[in-house]
Amino acid sequence: MDATLEELALDECLEFLRENVVGHVAVVVNDFPIVLPVNYRLVETSAVTWIAIRTRPGNVLDREAVPVAFEIDAIDPVHHQGWSVLVRGTLHHVDPDAADFRERFDPQPWIVTDRDAWLVVQPFSITGRRLHPTTTDLGFHIRGYL
């Protein structure tokens, strides 16, 4: 049987976003895309859902509002399965002192030195997929034990 690709419901995508802390932001700089790893935190209030990140002031992410893609995933190469969540939206500056944002939604970057630019991805789309492996007659995969 062939592997199957399943679309994830929004609730499943949000659950993956809640459970993880590292993702990748893709943005176009000088007409070419770049992808950067970032620590993040899902911001959920009754009014908004955002992805919060902190970065160094003046770096390629610290710009005026720009369209971005944000992605998280998990891959199991031994069993040929995994999932990914893609958030498409606009990157905006946020005041970390407004509405206790700093205390409530700090993404807690692993490198905290000079991470004083607070940004959020305001999504217009959150989608996800899960790849289910092919089924085999064997109860194990030899690489799973190496």
Residue 138's pLDDT is: 54
Strand partners, 71: 24, 86
**DSSP string across 24-43:** EEEEEETTEEEEEEEE-EEE
Interval 114-142: pLDDT, tens: 777 889 999 999 999 999 887 655 555 55
How does DSSP classify residue 133?
P
- For residue 81, give the amino acid letter: Q
Q: How far, in Å, CA of 27 to CA of 143, rounded? A: 37
> For the chain, which ranges sit under pLDDT 70?
1, 112, 135-146
For the chain, domain boundaries? 4-134
pTM score above 0.75: yes
Q: What is the DSSP string of 58-122?
A: TSTTSSSSEEEEEEEEEEETTTTEEEEEEEEEEEEE--TTGGGHHHHH----SS-TT--EEEEEE
Looking at domain 4-134, its CATH class is mainly beta
**Tokens of residue 93, six digits:** 């500056």
- Written as six digits, the tokens of 25 are 């932001």
Give one word for 139, left, alpha or beta, with left for phi > 0 and alpha for psi -120 to 50: alpha
Q: How confident is the model at residue 38, as a pLDDT?
A: 93
